[in-house]
Structure 1
Amino acid sequence: MFGHSVKLFTLMGFEIKIDASWLLIAALIVWSLSSGYFPQVLPGLSQSAYLILSITAMLALFASLILHELAHSLVARRYGLGIGGITLFLFGGVAELVDEPKSAASEFWIAIAGPIMSFVLAGLFGLAALVAGGAGVVGILLGYLASINLVLAVFNLIPAFPLDGGRVLRAWLWQRSGDMLEATRKASGAGTVLAIGLMGLGLFSALSGGGIGGAWLVLIGFFVLNASRGAYQRLLVQDSLKGRRVAELMTPDPWTAHPDMTLADLADRVMMAHAVSFAPVVGDGAVVGYVDAQLMRTIAREEWANTTVGDVMAAVDDSCLVAPRMTAEDALNRLAQGPHRKLIVVEGRQLRGVLSLRDLMGHIAVVQALGGARTGR
């Protein structure tokens, strides 16, 4: 999910990571607290004292976010779901669920665990602030942490996907209808409404002199919009490919090249003649490599007649070879994560077909045009 995250440590079996974007929000929080909030509620301290206090508050806030996401992760693990880790990023934190919940009940308890943890933290920090007297440096700091955890819990309970409240809404809709995809569509729609509202409010605030606060609301709105729509689209893809194997969607018996064939012959007799830009290379009945148009362009055209396929072909390895029995969803993930645009389907080393992203997207488009792959979930 996050391409520039760095692992910090492992907590209760979960990797805790930070994304590069986290540095921006951390700096903004420290700046806001040290230049505005703490000087207002604790006048008379030195600038260095405000800075130390702000850094402490920021670290405690992000510790609270980790505990919020840890609650999600522990309940998800209890229900047998994989967790890719907990990552702090620009808009807070996220527990990276590898799989979707298998039932409405598990969705509900996984979703509600985070806000419950934030409410508990708000109560504990509030109680500690009362014990500390409330008016001193420690009391003010604890009071701030109580308030921010309370805000975090309440905001996350807004019934708009992908917020925790939106997941609770999805669980309720799912329980009523028995259809996870339709429940996700409706919860995602609520997320879209929230996102547009946040962006509109942020734009109004920015134009009215709200400054960075308005811009921040717009950014949050964009994040919610993309996350809600992206989650629904991912589920659509999973639903369309469910139960399908590579053998069902691949292009069987593709046009091939031989290692001794010249590039000129490959271009004329295979690629141009049959309108293909990719050819597995087969020698002695086994796949030994592949050639595509991108690779061909790296060779000067005047050299094609004197260069054989075997001289320039790309080697094959496990990243581009798949078995016919592999699930279509796993194949799509392989294409999305790897450097290859096509996968060569083999049994042993014998060629069975080629699977491209176009094959998968074409199947998904047909399924959705027919009204979706209803599976009675």
Structure 2
Amino acid sequence: MDAHRSGPPPAPPAARPQPRERGAGIPLGRIAGVPIYLAPSWLLLAALITLTYGQILTVRRELSLSTGFAIGFGFVVCLLISVLLHELGHAVTSRRSGIGVRGITLEMLGGYTEMDREAPRPGVELYISLAGPAVSFAVGLLAAAAAVVLPGGGIAETFAFQLALSNIVVAVFNALPGLPLDGGRALQALVWKASGDPNLGRRVAGWAGRVVALATAAAVLILFERGIIDGYFGVIFTLLVAVTLWVGAGQAIRHGRVAASLPPFSARDLARPVVAVSASTPLAEAARLAAMSEERQPVVAVVDGAGGLIGFVHGASARAVPAERRPWVPVGDVTRRIDPQHVLQGDLRGTDLLQAIRDDPAGDYLVVSGEDVHGVLRGADLVSLVEPRRPTVRRKNT
């Protein structure tokens, strides 16, 4: 359906699209307007690293236990900041590419940046994907430079060296060509560029991610068996990373299969027309006006005295009203008000559209383009198109 200005007036300012914020994790604040969250799982990792690293320093440096733990905790904080800088690399490049960022979550095995939509072109995908490892590598080089100029053999020099090593390992590991790693996103972009099919790229990178997961698990077990890795903590942690990679790769493969089967409709194409009435209009009268409309399956929209759009008649609530009472029940009693989370841009399609309605897949959404109102998308309409095509079988960094 083409954009138009007739019918109900544009949504009031309160109903304009706004970025959704994630609610998971402990909120740490904002950086450049991006919400930052800390997953509770990170606290477990912080405790393990603090205890392990602190005990190693206590033995090797002959420090008191409290001093060793304090230094260990300081190292954990530096690692957290390093992961945050890595994710900010993705967030900043995403924004520069015109893609909004919902938030950054720091968790036990790294972190992830949640974006409003997927990259529109393979070049943009490649640019955003490699930004994180580039930042980690730069931080590693700075820490290595600090280790060089600091007095040799001191705690500060050891601390800087460990920080440099961890950041460079993170940069190199994340650049490996397999989803859900950043290198997997880069591989996806290259296959997308060569084939013209982003979903093929996602599936190829997903299978490559499974290979990386198996190789990671095999490598750590071989190194442990040969005595190169000493201690169970590193082995268990690396195996956990490998399992996470395997799961993420499987999700990417399924995502690629489902996305390839999605209908090529945009939110604008799926939007139903609206019939505008006042809140005091009897439910029976609103139903009669909708039935008389020449448009296909219109949705009854409620407007205020100034003509501003308030919300839509909730289908389930309206059907629950007995037929004999509908001439006396005003539509305002069965209206669901519009909120910013139920406003969609008309050009959304495919997986971006599914992502936009994931929190309320059965809800009604106002579809707009700027000041133009296209109509109402009912989540159930989209779900009914997707589910028959679904096979029977969050950008995340580790």
Question: Normalised by the size of structure 2, how large is the TM-score?
Answer: 0.66
Find the counterpart in structure 2 of residue 134 from structure 1: 152
Shift of 1:101: 1.9
Find the counterpart in structure 1 of residue 38 from structure 2: 18
CA distance in 2 between counterparts of 1:322 and 1:109 reads 29
**Residues 109, 203 of structure 1: CA spacing in aligned structure 2 closer, same or farther, 3 A cutoff?**
same
Asked if 1:66 corresponds to 2:84, the answer is: yes
Asked if 1:217 corresponds to 2:238, the answer is: yes
| 1:178-257 equivalent positions in 2, closer than 5 A | 178-198=196-216, 211-234=232-255, 237=258, 240-245=262-267, 248=270
Residue 148 of structure 2 aligns to which amino acid in structure 1?
L
Shift of 1:185: 1.0
CA contact (8 A) 1:160 1:191 kept: yes
Q: Secondary structure at the match of 1:101?
A: coil
Aligned pair partner of 1:336 in 328, 335, 358: 358
Asked if 1:360 corresponds to 2:385, the answer is: no
CA distance in 1 between counterparts of 2:345 and 2:92 reads 36
How many residue pairs match? The answer is 328
Find the counterpart in structure 1 of residue 25 from structure 2: 5
CA distance in 2 between counterparts of 1:200 and 1:287 reads 56
Name the Cα RMSD after superposition: 4.5
CA distance in 1 between counterparts of 2:265 and 2:325 reads 44
Q: Deviations over 1:81-112 (max 9, x none)?
A: 21222221121122222222222222222222
CA distance in 1 between counterparts of 2:222 and 2:256 reads 34
CA distance in 2 between counterparts of 1:91 and 1:170 reads 22
CA distance in 2 between counterparts of 1:192 and 1:63 reads 29
Task: In structure 1, list runs of 5 or more residues that go unmatched.
Answer: 251-257, 261-279, 297-303, 347-351, 370-377
CA distance in 1 between counterparts of 2:133 and 2:210 reads 21
Shift of 1:145: 0.6
Shift of 1:230: 2.9
Asked if 1:116 corresponds to 2:134, the answer is: yes
Find the counterpart in structure 2 of residue 291 from structure 1: 316
CA distance in 1 between counterparts of 2:343 and 2:147 reads 59
CA contact (8 A) 1:115 1:152 kept: yes
CA distance in 1 between counterparts of 2:342 and 2:36 reads 33
Q: Deviations over 1:346-366 (max 9, x none)?
A: 9xxxxx999454x53442355
Aligned pair partner of 2:52 in 32, 39, 49: 32
Percent identity of equivalent pairs: 28
CA distance in 2 between counterparts of 1:53 and 1:29 reads 11
Q: Deviations over 1:189-238 (max 9, x none)?
A: 11122234445677899999964444433432332233333345445555
CA distance in 2 between counterparts of 1:335 and 1:325 reads 13
Find the counterpart in structure 2 of residue 299 from structure 1: none
Shift of 1:259: 6.4
CA contact (8 A) 2:258 2:389 kept: no
CA distance in 2 between counterparts of 1:368 and 1:281 reads 31
**Residues 204, 342 of structure 1: CA spacing in aligned structure 2 closer, same or farther, 3 A cutoff?**
farther
Residue 244 of structure 1 aligns to which amino acid in structure 2?
S
**Residues 333, 98 of structure 1: CA spacing in aligned structure 2 closer, same or farther, 3 A cutoff?**
closer
CA distance in 1 between counterparts of 2:377 and 2:101 reads 32
Find the counterpart in structure 1 of residue 105 from structure 2: 87
CA distance in 1 between counterparts of 2:103 and 2:83 reads 13
Residue 101 of structure 2 aligns to which amino acid in structure 1?
I
CA distance in 1 between counterparts of 2:69 and 2:253 reads 42
Find the counterpart in structure 2 of residue 373 from structure 1: none
CA contact (8 A) 2:177 2:187 kept: yes
Find the counterpart in structure 1 of residue 191 from structure 2: 173
CA distance in 1 between counterparts of 2:213 and 2:166 reads 21
> Bigger CA drift: 313-322 or 188-197?
313-322
CA distance in 2 between counterparts of 1:345 and 1:34 reads 55
CA distance in 1 between counterparts of 2:81 and 2:33 reads 17
Task: In structure 2, list runs of 5 or more residues that go unmatched.
Answer: 1-20, 273-281, 285-298, 303-310, 368-374, 392-398
| 1:254-293 equivalent positions in 2, closer than 5 A | 288-291=313-316
CA distance in 2 between counterparts of 1:45 and 1:62 reads 24
Find the counterpart in structure 2 of residue 317 from structure 1: 337
Residue 38 of structure 1 aligns to which amino acid in structure 2?
L
**Residues 166, 345 of structure 1: CA spacing in aligned structure 2 closer, same or farther, 3 A cutoff?**
closer
CA distance in 2 between counterparts of 1:154 and 1:241 reads 38
Question: Normalised by the size of structure 1, how large is the TM-score?
Answer: 0.69
> Bigger CA drift: 166-175 or 180-189?
166-175
Residue 265 of structure 2 aligns to which amino acid in structure 1?
G
Larger RCO, structure (CA 8 Å, separation 6 or more): 2
CA contact (8 A) 2:36 2:104 kept: yes
Find the counterpart in structure 1 of residue 169 from structure 2: 151
**Residues 176, 196 of structure 1: CA spacing in aligned structure 2 closer, same or farther, 3 A cutoff?**
same
Residue 103 of structure 2 aligns to which amino acid in structure 1?
G
Q: Secondary structure at the match of 2:113?
A: strand
Q: Secondary structure at the match of 1:134?
A: coil
CA contact (8 A) 1:203 1:215 kept: no
CA contact (8 A) 2:267 2:349 kept: yes
Find the counterpart in structure 2 of residue 253 from structure 1: none
CA distance in 2 between counterparts of 1:344 and 1:172 reads 35
**Residues 259, 150 of structure 1: CA spacing in aligned structure 2 closer, same or farther, 3 A cutoff?**
same
